[in-house]
Chains A and B, each alone.
Chain A
């Protein structure tokens, strides 16, 4: 297994929004989905997931309801709200721009300056 990357400050919220935008999930499912998409290259503190979920729900970007899990147990499912969709879009654009800028800076060679 490759060495895991530590999550950048403030990116967990974005990843959660993305994960639930693909379909509603319970907390554990969100963790699994992020690990699956990232091919286990990100290290996520399991405990830190829930305060983030509660915060996002309090801000109105995700909503929750109780449902039945794959193994027939009661679980709390989260889905993206309309406001959450807009938020995800804005954050994604923001992130891409930031990534371009940073990447551009890091690519710079002495001749280009």
Chain B
């Protein structure tokens, strides 16, 4: 509807309503006047006639109201009337309206924001054809990946899937006009786009027949973003050649803008056929059943249930375990919703989302409690108004509806602002890229689901805080109120508002407790012994395999670079390794004690491993407990050696003492039969902050080359200066080699700390909201009761009460309410502690210091909220107060 039609229809309705009203008035007046004339004609004196005519007719306004209802068409009209009345009321008390709207905007905004994140991560379907048919195939007993030969067997022998795709997240070096850069992409089987049902915006996608032989399909598909940002949205890009890892690839097409593969948090820039894997990654695992590197998603055939598909896959699993018992022992598949790498990311995400949704709901509850108590206070003042309206003929239903419409209006206004706030924030969040060398990005832009959610929440909120005043309005006794002694509104012996304050304090307590528990957990996580000291260590990474270096040339380059960097002024020590602990790139291997002769796969112990250069432990600040560090002589010509951590010594070497373990040997690992342990280092965190103590092996990089290189530099220079120096030094050796992940090691660990950080930020926001809400709530209550009691206080002071006694009177009840609320909150917080602990790592649910801090916070909050009204009470001038009525 255009603005003009809207205005016209509104004005028509107004004009018509005016006419109907005028006609009704004329008709009734005609009646009364005609009757008066008849009475005069029959001899009654004029004044008496007029009086009798009016009396016998009855209440004019009441009759009109009944007539309006009888006419039946006045629903819209009276609604308009109610809305206009509501607007007038809102304008009349702008302070109240502002506080109510802001309170609701915060509560509803917080909920909408949380929901739009949940929506983006869990609810919104993937932008592919019939997304609910897709299922992620994961291993029930271990990780989400499959070996590529196993994937091929599943693909070729299943009877329940219309198609099964294999894919893998892979970094690669891409050369465009802006120079060489490391980008993140996908290796994907040829049927990938066809099975997902995605259409290109430009060119075409690669197909099954183009992905048959290793190394034979140098094709690339660009993401929409990469096409725009790296190739200037070149319409003629199709057929052009780009260089990936310094080899030529032909661009086939561009993916649609909203398609970012199947993982919701990962935005790849390029797709390459899986058969190019040996060229993209340095080691080939396409025929290796030991490397579980492939993620698998299938599209179920029509009318096949998830259980049927799982049964089908597990029948194949039994055959595979029979055929390859050494690797496929205990193989068992289960299906998960695609989008979050099965249950590995999906499980914790769901738990976290659920927890945060509960907290958001609590904040909204606190906001509603706040409003309910404000409205309850106002309702006392409005009793007279309601009584007058009832007395002059408003129906009870009408009065209740009026009150409900008022709350609904406030609620929708607050909800609208909250929604606007939330969508602004979600847009910002959608553009935000986590500060780490991995394209983590979420599209949390609100869609219709978020809008409906905000609408529902607003309605629910107004029902929550509006039902009490409406109920109260429906029970107004006009006679009692107008006679001047309104009934006090008691629930038992406690005032309704008192109960609201207790609820509010309890909620505030729980939220502040949640916030503090999480912050303390984060603080402890930051002080956790990581097994290394990230302070003052800068890192820079490059991949020589992606850059086309052979192992021999790579080895030489690594040592050259290290030597050059060690010469830099301000450098205390430097080293290099394939990766650092707690970064994304982690490798594990299976090992077993050397004395075991008859080996079963289940005897293997999984250990994290790194390939490190001499000086690694000194640079990283990892303590060597026994034995020695690597030297430049631990190379290919000497005996195969390793340094392990304490957990490894305990579990694999069965030595509780670090010194006993030195010199022992173990079996397995990528290098083959037997390795001698030459040193023991302290335990640390390797894959995640939350892991329990894991065995770890450090090989000498001189014996076990890896083209992926991270250089660690410990220096006294500021972070930015030393990274610039490293960059310059490496560029002197190979100007075309892209560096990635450069910066302070502390910042690089952002990936590991990301969940805790996100949780702490969200929980702190809720805590602050709760404090604001509870503060205004308590302040409002005390201020109101002081203003109601001014008269009483005046009398008391006139009779000789001292300020202290007045303060006691005013604050005594509030203090009692605060205490009761805190006790209830404490019980709730302890009960909820377990949930908090599951959300935030290192959170101690029953930390007494946290509880004490919360108690202090709430007490301080209560005191400061009471301060100004209490002072006002203590300064009441009895003369002024008594003259007041």
| A→B interface (CB under 8 Å) | 26-28, 31, 45-48, 50-52, 54-55, 57-58, 66, 69, 71, 73-76
Contact = CB atoms under 8 A, between A and B. Distances in A.
B27 to A, nearest CB: 5
Contacts of B58: 45-48
Contacts of B27: 26-27, 50, 75-76
Interface in B20-35: 23, 26-28, 30-31, 34-35
Given A47-B57, A51-B70, A54-B71, A69 B30 contact: yes
Nearest to A57: B71
Contacts, number: 58
A75 B30 contact: yes
B66 interface: yes
Interface in B482-527: none
A66 B27 CA distance: 10
Interface in B299-336: none
Could you tell me the dominant secondary structure of chain B's interface residues? helix
Most buried by A among B26, B34, B66, B71: B34
Contact of A55 (B34, B59, B70): B70
A54 B34 CA distance: 20
Contacts of B70: 51-52, 54-55, 58
Nearest to B26: A74
Interface string B637-651: 000000000000000
Nearest to B27: A76
B476 to A, nearest CB: 24
30 contacts: A27-B27, A27-B30, A31-B31, A46-B31, A46-B56, A46-B57, A47-B58, A47-B59, A48-B58, A50-B28, A50-B31, A50-B63, A51-B63, A51-B69, A51-B70, A54-B67, A54-B70, A55-B71, A55-B72, A58-B70, A58-B71, A58-B73, A69-B30, A69-B34, A71-B37, A74-B26, A74-B30, A75-B30, A76-B23, A76-B26
Contacts of A69: 30, 34
Contact of A51 (B26, B34, B37, B67): B67
Contacts of B28: 50
A28 B35 contact: yes
Interface of B: 23, 26-28, 30-31, 34-35, 37, 56-59, 62-63, 66-67, 69-73
A69 B72 CA distance: 28
Contacts of A47: 57-59, 62-63
Contacts of B35: 28, 46
Given A46-B35, A50-B28, A71-B37, 11 more contacts: A28-B35, A31-B31, A46-B57, A51-B70, A55-B70, A57-B71, A58-B72, A69-B34, A71-B34, A73-B30, A74-B30
Nearest to B59: A47
Nearest to B65: A51
In order of increasing CB-CB distance, the 5 nearest A-B pairs are A47-B58, A54-B70, A55-B70, A51-B66, A51-B70
Nearest to A47: B58
A28 to B, nearest CB: 5
Contacts of B37: 71
Nearest to A73: B30
A69 B59 CA distance: 24
A51 B24 CA distance: 11
A50 to B, nearest CB: 5
A12 to B, nearest CB: 12
Nearest to A74: B26
A84 to B, nearest CB: 16
Contacts of A45: 58
A73 B23 CA distance: 14
Contact of A28 (B30, B59, B73): B30
A12 B73 CA distance: 22
A52 to B, nearest CB: 8
Nearest to A55: B70
A16 B28 CA distance: 17
Contacts of A75: 27, 30
Contacts of A51: 63, 66-67, 69-70
A69 B34 CA distance: 10
A50 B67 contact: yes
Contacts of A52: 70
A9 to B, nearest CB: 16
Nearest to A54: B70
Nearest to B33: A73
